[in-house]
Chains A and B, each alone.
Chain A
Amino acid sequence: MAQTLVTEPFPISRIANRYLIFDVNIISHIRREHNICGVLIGTIPNLSQQNVFLGIPMQLMPEETRLLVEHGHAYIVEDADAHKTGFMEMSREDRLAFLRQMDKQGVEMALDAKRRAADKQEKVLKEKGLERKIQEKNLRRTDITPNPATGETSVGPSDEKSLSDSMPPSPTVGSARGQKVAPYFITPTTSHPPLPTPPLSPAAELPKVPHTYPLFRHLQSKGYFSTPGLRFGCHYTAYPGDPLRFHSHFLATGLDWDEEFELLDIVGGGRLGTGVKKAYLIGGEDPEAKASGKEDGSDPVRAFSIEWAGL
């Protein structure tokens, strides 16, 4: 499957103050281009009895969202508002048009599934050496399968008819054509279409981020991927590359520049990190360097990694 190009800036949905992405192309895009991997929190259909592989939507940390917005890659959309106006007040014409479109897709999918089932059956029969049965099958199949051209023309009139009656299309439009396929119903993943791509609103405020944001930004600028780190008792687990391929290197904890902390935290973090083959990392932003660094472009964040030497 070819990658679909994503045009920047792309929308990020804000739902109840959480940041979510529903478009699979954007999910792949930010992984490749911006080393941001978010957290997949959704259930993959057909794989709904396991927690190892999760799917759409992807939840972004406020830090990740802010970084994408600050750099102009993305903008935030209030999804609840968009859906309230878009669907709750949808006009009858738009609704019928969208339903027809979904129905058409459903017929195509049903036909596709049928074709694949037939192919599979043919293959099995061939393996068993039952050529004669295939021929019988083929004879019957030519009766059923419409060639694409006639399929097209028969969609036309039925559409016309439902338009003139201003009735929604019947779900059994397939059987009316004598094809013996009932259209599948589809639950789309995103709401675009039928909703228009939401307009860019630069006035929207940036997401609120915790005081660990400078460390996150620093790691990200060095090419690290970060995921939420509560499971390892830190703020972020930092990966040297895509977590699909690499083990994480650091358990990163963000601190303020002059913040006092317990020496025992280093022992705890260091031991935990070493135990799971990672290094404990602390870092913070120097406010003075930040002020002066604006001119020379240097990074005001410093980070230290701590590892048990195991001597």
Chain B
Amino acid sequence: MADYDENLSHLRGPSAADIDLDDETQDFRFLSNLPTHDVKDLTLPKRGDKDFESHATSLQLSTLEASRQAMHNALSWPRIHTQKTHLLATYHPESNMAYVKKAKTQHFQTLGHFKAGKNWLLPEEALFMIERGSMDCRWPVQVEEGRTDIIVYDGQEENERGVPMSLQGAYAAFIGFEGGVGGKLTLEMYTVYAGLKRAGFIVFRAGDWDDERLPIQYNEQDARDGDKVKSGNWAFGFVAEIWRRLSRKETEVPADRLKCGPLLGSGLYRSYADIYRLLQVIPTRDRNAPPELILPPDCSNPFRITFDVYKTAGAGKFKKSTRGPPDYRIAVVNARETPVPTMAQLNDLLATTPYDPPNPNGNLYQKLRHGSRNVILAVVDNGIPSYIRVGDTPFTDEKLYKRLGRGPPRGKKSGRGRGRGRGG
């Protein structure tokens, strides 16, 4: 809003809706009210009251001390597995993955893949399961010559169990050993993965990360037109088509007039639309044409879609084998190593996202924000991710002159303008 600071906005606190709890360090004392192992009916705490200045009072010092102690306690919570919830996994150093023989939790609906009698977990999946305290991962056992590693547990023959992998060991293995198997998963990618999983999204790798680039997604014009006729009224479509042909007049300005004008020749114009159309002299890209400015396929391109993200709505029906197109596509970028993308890099990235036009009946601004293709950049600055949505916005598809005379006049009934007032 233009007049934001005229309101002396800095004298007021931000409104409750603007507060992002993740933005600032929260007071861990909220956690100390919770019993250590029983957090079933946990609600998130409200934003705490923090101070602006240090005034060296005992009160302030003791509050800080209490916060630090609460944080220390929360960070000391152990990861324990009861016999009932025990999920045993084994680390597989050759692939830097882990496998589970008996998958007895719901988690496997949204992670892992089944191969040769075992559930295999990708490094990020295994690390997250260990970190959230849901899986007991063991280092593999070195079998000496002349010995067998089969042993009897509870009357069942099993492979001998290795030493439990600590959280530190899990990071060292799944992030640190990654270099030995191609080095695809970085700590930044894992930070984004874990953050999205904690937020409740279902996250999978986009492609298998081995290919040089994801396939270019072409926009299939024919399929789109077919849909249009099917969804709309056939007769209406027909009349509209006739009307469009009748009303189309000269749409191209002859080359000599483009050079020295005037753009509008003398003649009879039946509508302003014809005139505006002639005034549009800056060429725009046809979004139905194949994407241009594509970089050669290259593994080291820092801008590529890393994760396919699904919303959890209807997660009960979610099937990881047939999961359909994702709700969001996320490219993870390291803020400290990667500069702002070039036009070609962005174009290249967007070309690997599908053509996804906005709802044609939507509000103009929604349509512009949605864009015809879009991707989310997760920019990680030392453990703190910021999510930026990049859309390819077809401004020229939204002709403002065509909106005139449609709907009620602005500001009266439509309710637009309600939000304006004296700035957020």
Contacts and interface: CB of A to CB of B under 8 A. Distances in A.
Nearest to A83: B172
**Chain B interface residue bracket vs A:** 35 or more
Contact of A41 (B21, B36, B151, B191): B191
A102 B81 CA distance: 12
A15 B383 CA distance: 14
A89 B142 contact: yes
A293 B386 CA distance: 39
Interface string B64-102: 100111011111111111110010000001000000000
A242 B64 contact: yes
A59 B130 CA distance: 18
Contacts of A109: 78, 80
A245 B382 contact: no
Interface stretch (A49-57, A139-147, A297-305): A49-57
A92 B162 CA distance: 10
**Chain A interface residue bracket vs B:** 35 or more
B132 A48 contact: yes
A190 interface: yes
A277 B75 CA distance: 30
B381 interface: yes
Contacts of B60: 245
A155 interface: no
A253 B33 CA distance: 38
Contacts of A231: 23, 381, 384, 386
Nearest to A55: B75
B25 A244 contact: yes
B5 interface: yes
Contacts of B290: none
Nearest to A276: B14
A228 B381 contact: yes
Interface in B122-170: 128, 130-134, 136-137, 139-142, 144, 151, 153-154, 160-169
Contacts of A44: 74-75, 77
Nearest to B36: A46
Contacts of A1: 69, 72-73, 76
A187 B136 contact: yes
B382 A15 contact: no
B172 A80 contact: yes
Contacts of B247: none
A61 interface: yes
Nearest to A113: B37
Interface in A24-74: 24, 27-28, 31-32, 37-53, 55-57, 59, 61
Contact of A28 (B52, B72, B133, B161): B72
Interface stretch (B174-182, B214-222, B261-269, B275-283): B174-182
A39 B383 contact: yes
A138 to B, nearest CB: 23
Interface in B19-36: 21-28, 30-31, 36
A53 B132 CA distance: 13
Contact of A46 (B22, B37, B64, B142): B37
B31 A191 contact: no
B171 interface: yes
A277 B169 CA distance: 41
Contact of A102 (B54, B164, B195): B164
Contacts of A277: 10
Contacts of B137: 187
A84 interface: yes
A79 B51 CA distance: 38
Given A13-B168, A15-B171, A28-B72, A187 B130 contact: yes
B144 to A, nearest CB: 7
B41 to A, nearest CB: 12
A121 interface: no
Given A45-B132, A49-B200, A247-B24, A57 B171 contact: yes
B198 A99 contact: no
Interface in A266-305: 271, 274-277
Contacts of B64: 241-242, 244-245
Interface in B212-259: none
A263 interface: no
A308 interface: yes
Nearest to B141: A95
B175 A15 contact: yes
Contacts of B128: 43
B347 to A, nearest CB: 24
B25 to A, nearest CB: 4
A230 B379 contact: yes
Nearest to B21: A52
B313 interface: no
A156 interface: no
B199 A87 contact: no
B194 interface: yes
Interface string B296-335: 0000000000000000000000000000000000000001
B348 to A, nearest CB: 23
B155 to A, nearest CB: 10
A172 interface: yes
Given A16-B186, A46-B77, A271 B5 contact: yes
A188 interface: yes
A88 B5 contact: no
B204 to A, nearest CB: 19
A53 B28 contact: yes
B54 A92 contact: no
A276 B10 CA distance: 7
B198 A49 contact: yes
Given A24-B72, A46-B37, A186 B187 contact: no
Contact of A242 (B68, B171, B172, B379): B68
B42 interface: yes
A189 B77 CA distance: 10
Interface stretch (A125-133, A163-171, A254-262): A163-171
Contact of B382 (A228, A243, A248): A228
5 contacts: A185-B81, A187-B81, A231-B384, A244-B28, A247-B51
Given A55-B74, A171-B153, 18 more contacts: A43-B128, A43-B131, A43-B198, A44-B75, A46-B39, A52-B22, A52-B26, A52-B44, A79-B172, A79-B176, A80-B177, A87-B165, A109-B78, A167-B151, A185-B136, A187-B79, A227-B384, A245-B51
